[in-house]
Amino acid sequence: MNLATAMKVNRLADAVWEIPKTEKSGMLVPARIYGTKRILESMDAGVFEQVTNVACLPGIQKYALCMPDGHWGYGFPIGGVAAFDVRNGIISPGGVGYDINCGMRLLRTDLTLADVKPRLDALMTELFRTVPAGVGAKGFVKLSRRTLQDVMHQGARWGVKQGYGWDSDLIHTEEQGCLSGADPEHVSEHACQRGMGQLGTLGSGNHYLEIQVVRNDRIFDRSVAERFGIHGHDQIVIMVHCGSRGLGHQVGTDYVRIFEKAMKRYGIFVKDQQLACAPYQSPEGEQYFSAMNCAANTAFANRQVIAHQIREAFCRVFRESPERLGMRQVYDVAHNIAKVERYERQNLLVHRKGATRAFGPGSPDVPDPFRTVGQPVICGGSMETGSYLLVGTAQANSESFGSTMHGAGRTMSRAQAKRMVRGATLQQNMAEQGILVKAVSMSGLAEEAGIAYKNISDVVESVDAAGITRKVAELLPIGNIKG
């Protein structure tokens, strides 16, 4: 094999590989990478270096994982998953990322491509106006300091209470859109100031809002798809990818600095400053966990407000209520988070950075409509190639700390993508393919070109072959809004 590492990488199964703990000094457990041979060969050197650095962190259990969409990040690789014993393990902001609870939300509709195509331009214009995106964008929700605290406490529930959404949205959201243990006391004044005006905004980078179509021949498990409200026949769905905005970014920034100092006191040494961490059961660890939950709840609220705005935009364009358009939420799932979960009668703090929870059938944390089939998993691909809806499996619970992939995964730097394609050209080419794109930043658009990403189908085949999620449906883009 032609790999970007000199470390020994052993094949465990069709799409599972292991780097033994003898390959790097300080590794406490092996590192495991999910992916077909082709995916493994496409991974950059940073993945191998970073996943083995994670394997050195105190209290890590079983193995450090990287999903097939993994790529070079900071501290943890993107696609990294690691579980730590809550009694003697650490918590690390670098294992969550700065965009705390960056995640995906998927709304289904009863509309078809034939309904939407004639009005796609008007719909995209209305969505672009209604859901602010890009640097410095402000949302329509005006928060006081008091109401921001309510948002941090209540997450998506706050949004629904204000009339921004439906009660059923909450059942169809990871943790019902509200993580407990969120105390705004541990969120800095700077974080609050950054978050005040940003509720209901997309941000930029790889964040987007996308109108997608589900073709009949791209449904792989019709029974599970029907349970998720997906029936094909050129059905229209809407996907949102965004997170906690400036509030979460500042929480990450604040606690990396706090942890750098705390590590010296706790005698913890890490191989990368961005892996700064503290014992989970320490004042610093508990404060970060609490602040992270505040930011995660803000992200749930952010996506809740955006979903409301999407429904309102559809309502204006189609002159029908969102209820009559069947705009129910399929699911909302986090992919940058640390959560206490129970595995083999042990409470573990599971870090997912660019990885999605993927609980299988029967899990008490999977809501009733899905409990017998497993949790919906929403994976966003590049804006040119499409996305996937997957379902969690029992094997994920037993093998990968209930985790799977989150997207396509980059293979090219932003600068390289910009050298290869201009934003305006890309926009024109996509229009010719039937995908209407509206973007605040043309250079930002070029950075997100499909050529900069792995083929999401290869990534999905990897987790399907490994058994940690199963394919349900492919979702093909017809309209994309980017910051």
Catalytic annotation, residues: 406
Stretch binding other proteins (CB under 8 A), from 72-80, 106-114, 339-347, 385-393: 72-80
Instruction: Give 357 or 482: the residue with its C-beta nearer to other proteins.
Output: 482
Among the listed residues 126, 332, 447, 464, the single contact to other proteins using CB under 8 A: 447
Instruction: Give 324 or 419: the residue with its C-beta nearer to other proteins.
Output: 419
Report in angstroms how near the CB of residue 143 gets to other proteins at its nearest: 14
Cα radius of gyration rounded to whole Å, the chain: 21
Among the listed residues 138, 161, 324, 342, the single contact to other proteins using CB under 8 A: 138
Stretch binding other proteins (CB under 8 A), from 34-42, 269-277, 335-343, 455-463: 269-277
Crossing angle between the packed helical segments 245-266 and 283-318, to the nearest 10 degrees: 170
Provide CB contacts within 8 A for 239, sequence distance 6+. 104, 105, 106, 208, 209, 210, 212, 378, 380, 387, 475
Among the listed residues 12, 41, 87, 136, the single contact to other proteins using CB under 8 A: 136
Instruction: Give 157 or 353: the residue with its C-beta nearer to other proteins.
Output: 353
Instruction: Give 62 or 190: the residue with its C-beta nearer to other proteins.
Output: 190
Q: In the Cβ-directed half-sphere of 420, how many Cα atoms lie within 13 Å?
A: 12
Tell whether residue 72 is a contact of other proteins (CB under 8 A): yes
Tell whether residue 425 is a contact of other proteins (CB under 8 A): no
Between residue 76 and residue 135, which ones bind other proteins under the rule CB under 8 A?
78, 97-99, 134-135
Report in angstroms how near the CB of residue 385 gets to other proteins at its nearest: 17
Report in angstroms how near the CB of residue 44 gets to other proteins at its nearest: 7
Report in angstroms how near the CB of residue 77 gets to other proteins at its nearest: 10
Instruction: Give 249 or 357: the residue with its C-beta nearer to other proteins.
Output: 249
Tell whether residue 412 is a contact of other proteins (CB under 8 A): yes
Tell whether residue 71 is a contact of other proteins (CB under 8 A): yes
Query: Of the candidates 66, 63, 64, which has an alpha carbon nearest to the alpha carbon of residue 80?
Result: 66
- Give the H or E element holding residue 283: helix 283-318
Report in angstroms how near the CB of residue 190 gets to other proteins at its nearest: 6
Query: Of the candidates 237, 197, 208, which has an alpha carbon nearest to the alpha carbon of residue 111?
Result: 237
Stretch binding other proteins (CB under 8 A), from 14-22, 229-237, 372-380, 437-445: 437-445
Instruction: Give 284 or 341: the residue with its C-beta nearer to other proteins.
Output: 284
Among the listed residues 20, 58, 205, 369, the single contact to other proteins using CB under 8 A: 205
Query: Of the candidates 164, 170, 128, which has an alpha carbon nearest to the alpha carbon of residue 143?
Result: 164
Tell whether residue 204 is a contact of other proteins (CB under 8 A): yes
Stretch binding other proteins (CB under 8 A), from 160-168, 202-210, 303-311, 386-394: 202-210
Q: Contact, 157 vs 178, CB < 8 A?
A: yes
Provide CB contacts within 8 A for 137, sequence distance 6+. 198, 201, 202, 203, 440, 483
Instruction: Give 157 or 410: the residue with its C-beta nearer to other proteins.
Output: 410
Report in angstroms how near the CB of residue 166 gets to other proteins at its nearest: 29
Q: In the Cβ-directed half-sphere of 302, how many Cα atoms lie within 13 Å?
A: 38
Among the listed residues 30, 75, 360, 450, the single contact to other proteins using CB under 8 A: 75
CA–CA dist 6, 48 (Å, integer): 9
Report in angstroms how near the CB of residue 397 gets to other proteins at its nearest: 28
CA–CA dist 202, 345 (Å, integer): 39
Among the listed residues 414, 421, 458, 465, the single contact to other proteins using CB under 8 A: 414
- What is residue 349's three-state secondary structure? strand
CA–CA dist 318, 124 (Å, integer): 12
Give the number of residues in contact with other proteins, rule: CB under 8 A. Answer: 53
Q: Contact, 8 vs 23, CB < 8 A?
A: yes
Instruction: Give 402 or 407: the residue with its C-beta nearer to other proteins.
Output: 407
Report in angstroms how near the CB of residue 194 gets to other proteins at its nearest: 4
Tell whether residue 69 is a contact of other proteins (CB under 8 A): no
Between residue 182 and residue 201, which ones bind other proteins under the rule CB under 8 A?
190, 193-198
- Give the H or E element holding residue 107: strand 103-112
CA–CA dist 234, 248 (Å, integer): 37
Bridging pattern class, strands 469-482 and 436-439: parallel
Tell whether residue 73 is a contact of other proteins (CB under 8 A): yes
Written in H, E and C, the secondary structure of 423-475 is: HHHHHHHHHHCCCEEEECCHHHHHHCCHHHECCHHHHHHHHHHHCCEEEEEEE
Cβ neighbourhood burial of 415 (10 Å; 0-12, 13-18, 19+): exposed
Residue for token pair 């995106």: 133
Which residues sit at the interface with other proteins, rule CB under 8 A?
44, 46, 71-75, 78, 97-99, 134-138, 190, 193-198, 203-206, 245-246, 249-250, 252-253, 256-257, 260, 272-274, 276, 410-416, 440-441, 443-444, 447, 483
